[in-house]
Amino acid sequence: MGRKPRTAEEIVDHLLNDRTGRLGGTVTGPPVDVYGIAASLGVEVVTRTDLPPGVEAELLRGTRVHLIVVRSPCQPARARFSVAHELGHLFLHPDEDFVFQQGQPTGCRYAERPELEANHFAAALLMPEDWLRAAIGEGMSDAGVSFTRIAQRFGVSRQALRRRLAALALTLD
Ligand SMILES: [Zn+2]
């Protein structure tokens, strides 16, 4: 392995586009197979019905295999975001276990830097900027782009899409 990528964008680019990487450039469009990516990284994703109130997911690091625990039941788009968020911690914050709590990042307690960074990573992984721009561009020539349709296509919640568009200063109008 060469030099470790640093920023969320660099890591995502490596995960999605590096043909010599673990995924071999097999991820070619939305929705990003976040479960396949986790598996390729040796991360097992399991669901639990008894997570403490407010906890959406957690990351447990092992010596060889890491575990992401996601609340069940959970909307598929939300579960995907939780997995992507925990993968963000795995890459960006190598030394700690993390619990992803409901309400991030608006509550000030959760507006902590690692949580914002993990949320940013999740958004960048699930909604790569060039794919998002392409989807919006296609929608333009297709009798009006539907916000909901794009969210569905990327497998994200409307809220997550809205935040990502705002962060990229993109609009659908
Ligand atoms: Zn977190």
**Ligand 1 centre distance from Cα of residue 18 (Å):** 26
What is the mean pLDDT of the segment spanning 123-143? Answer: 83
156 — pLDDT class (breaks 50, 70, 90): very high
Is the predicted pLDDT of residue 101 greater than 80, yes or no?
no
Give me the pLDDT at residue 31, please.
94
CA distances from 52 to 40, 49, 70, 99, 101 (A): 28, 9, 11, 10, 9
Q: Of the segments 22-31, 97-106, 113-122, 139-148, which one has the largest average pLDDT value? A: 113-122
Ligand 1 centre distance from Cα of residue 73 (Å): 19
Which of 121, 126, 26 minimizes the C-alpha distance to 76? 126
CA of 121 relative to ligand 1 center, distance in Å:
11
The pLDDT-based confidence of 139 (bands split at 50, 70, 90) is: low
- Using the mean position of ligand 1's atoms as its centre, give its distance from the Cα of residue 89 in Å: 7
Q: What is residue 22's predicted lDDT score, i.e. its pLDDT?
A: 65
pTM above 0.95, yes or no: no
Choosing among 2.40.50.100, 1.10.10.2910, 3.40.50.1100, 3.30.930.10, the CATH entry for 8-127 is 1.10.10.2910
What distance in angstroms lies between residue 145's CA and the mean position of ligand 1's atoms? 32
Ligand 1: centre distance to CA 103 (Å)? 11
| Cα–ligand 1 centroid distance for 143 (angstroms) | 38
Span from the CA of 52 to the centroid of ligand 1 (angstroms): 15
Q: What pLDDT, on a 0 to 100 scale, did the predictor assign at position 136?
A: 86
Domain limits, the chain? 8-127
Is residue 2's pLDDT more than 60? no
Q: How far is the centre of ligand 1, averaged over its atoms, from the C-alpha of 160 (Å)?
A: 15
- Are 16 and 128 spatial neighbours (Cβ–Cβ below 8 Å)? yes
Report the separation in Å between the CA atom of 128 and the middle of ligand 1, taken as the mean of its atom positions: 20
Decide if pLDDT at 74 tops 60: yes
Q: Band of the pLDDT at 1, cuts 50, 70, 90?
A: very low
pLDDT of residue 6: 80
Give the confidence band of 59 by pLDDT, cuts at 50, 70, 90. Answer: very high
